[in-house]
Structures are given as structure tokens and as C-alpha cells.
Structure 1
Amino acid sequence: MPKAKLDAIDQRIIGELQADARLSNVELADRVGLSPSPCLRRVKRLEQEGIIQGYRAVLNRDGVGLGFSAFLAIKIEGHANEHAVAFEDTVCAMPEVLACHLVSGDSDYLLEVVTADLEHYRQFLVERLLNLPIVREVKSNIAIQTRKAAAALPLTHAP
């Protein structure tokens, strides 16, 4: 997928929406120095191009009872594409899985998982993940403390 060409105004729009997606179009336009109509056109274009993929609330994990986080390094059996895609589709459909990355190195995938507590994590791991026939090995890293999560993407790289 080719990289989008974002000008300075696009970058400011995206930055403002990452910080507060509840801004009205009028507030957003004022913050980025446009009138409301051109601002709305830009936002719609960014949505249509897939740069803005959606809007959501960022929740306090402990506050909603999902304070247990783990990062799982997973090795799979074989690497036939159809089996890997089936694995990806399966784990991405699991609500506990916040992120699934195909990675290089000692593992094939890195998952970020949240559950209520260690017992719920054990159930997820033993009863669901390890029951997938393609899973060969799982190494879990338990988060002891989270200092930063769900951060906005840095936009300073764009020309």
C-alpha cells in the first residue's frame, strides 16, 4: 500500500483527532486553521483513504475489570500460508486479543492479551489458545505495570 501524502493541515487534523476524537467539526476546524467546510472535506477524504479507520473511547483497563495484560510469543507448526491465515483469523476474533503481529526472530507471532485476572488468563491460554492445532509453543510475558498504552501515533515523520 503506497504511503499517503499528508500535508501539514492533514497532520494537524489527525493529531487533534487522536488527542480528542469527540471534537466537533467546528472546534476541529478552528484548531487547525480552516473553515468548517474544507475541514470536513479533509476529514471525509482521510476516512475514505483509510488513514482514519475509526473512532473509539479509550478505556481504563482496571476500571472495566480487565487489568491483567500479557504479551505472548507464539511459534506455529509449519508455515503454510493457509494455516497461518486461519490462525490469524482465529486469534483476531478472540476478544481478549488486542493486537496480533507477525514478527521476525524466535517467534512467529506476538499477541497482546487482556483478561480480568490470572485465572481468566489461564483459561484463555489452556482452553482456547493451546487447543489450536497449529500452535507449537507459547511464551508468556506478564505485564507488571503499564506506563503507556493506546498512545497516539507520532506524526513527525511525515514530510
Structure 2
Amino acid sequence: MGAVDGEIDYFDQKILDLLVEDGRMSITDISRAVGLSQTPCKLRMNRLIEEGYIEGFRAVLNPRKLGVDHVAYAEVKLSDTKEKALNEFNTAVKKIKEVEECHMIAGRFDYLLKVRTSDIRKYRQVLGEKISSLPHVASTSTSVAMESVKESGRSVSSR
């Protein structure tokens, strides 16, 4: 039933690729597209979930319709990068709903935050009241997205 030792094979990868494109795809449609019958296809999908290749399913929302299509990237430099300080920052940044993504970066700054708000005024408020108040923040620098060309990683193929 698929690859052993936590490795994925062609069929597993095809299932993953299909689900990334449409997480609501039925097992019937998946099995047809992959070229397997429904039972082995369902078993493979369950194994991919159990082994952590699939972490969950969620809705992809339209930010423009929700009024939060302003995207800014905040580079954050910390005053302290000891493990305790990093953990304090990590815990606190997760509580800011406008921060859509947070990545620790190796380079001239420590973190890169993707911040989604309604407009530049709201972003300025979030930056001033929330991001700049996070533990150990020494400085920030902002880049504003003019257009989102590709936002979700559609291809997960490792081949």
C-alpha cells in the first residue's frame, strides 16, 4: 500500500498534488485521476494524514471580499536572540490576528512577517500598537505588496 519507511511514491505524490489544488475533491475523483481503485486510494490518503504529510484541510478565503487585501511585509530585528527571547517573541506574535505568516530569517533581520489588513492606515496601527510592542523588538522595516501574483504554494511536488 504505498512506499515504506515514511517515503512517498508516485501515487502518494499525485494524491497530494490533487488535494493541494482541491482539498474537497472526492475520493472517487482522486482515485480516477490517480489510476487506483477507491479502497487503496483511501488507504493511502489516510496514511498520508496519519504520517503528517497532510496536516489538515481548510478554506481558502478571498481577502478582497473580506476587506483585508492590503499586504505588507515587516522585517523585524530583535534586541536579543537568545532562546528565551525568541520563544517569547514567537508566543506573542502568534496572538496578532493580522500577522498571517511569521518566519525566522537568517540574514540582516531576524523575522519576516506577512501582515494582512484593510489598508495602509490599519497596517500602521498594527505596526505601531502590536508588532513594535512585541517582546525584544528593536526595529522594523516595511515593504508593501503592490500586487499579489502568487500567494499559495500550489505545487508540493518534490520531484
Match runs of 1:29-108 below 5 Å: 29-108=31-110
The residue number in structure 1 matching 2:133 is: 131
Among 5, 17, 23, which residue is 2:19 paired with? 17
Which AA in structure 1 matches 2:67? G
Aligned-residue RMSD, C-alpha = 1.4
2:144 to 125, 142, 145: 142
Gaps of 5+ in 1: none
Contact 2:89 2:135 in 1 (8 A): no
TM-score normalised per structure 2:
0.92
CA-to-aligned-CA distance 1:21-43 (integer Å, 9 cap, x gap)? 11111111111111111111111
CA gap of 1:148–1:76, structure 2 versus 1, over 3 A, is same
CA contact (8 A) 2:76 2:140 kept: yes
Residue 116 of structure 1: which of 112, 115, 118 is its match?
118
CA distance in 1, matches of 2:45, 2:137: 41
What is the CA distance between 1:4 and its match in structure 2? 4.6
Identity %, equivalent residues? 34
What is the number of equivalent residue pairs in this alignment? Answer: 155
Where has structure 1 moved over 6 Å in runs of 4 or more?
none
For residues 4 and 153 of structure 1, the distance between their equivalents in structure 2, rounded to whole angstroms, comes to: 20
The offset of 1:154, in angstroms, is 3.4
Gaps of 5+ in 2: none
Distance in 2 separating the partners of 1:153 and 1:52 = 14
Deviation at 1:145, TM superposition (A): 1.0
d(CA) in 2 for partners of 1:4 and 1:119? Answer: 47
What letter is aligned with 1:18? Answer: V
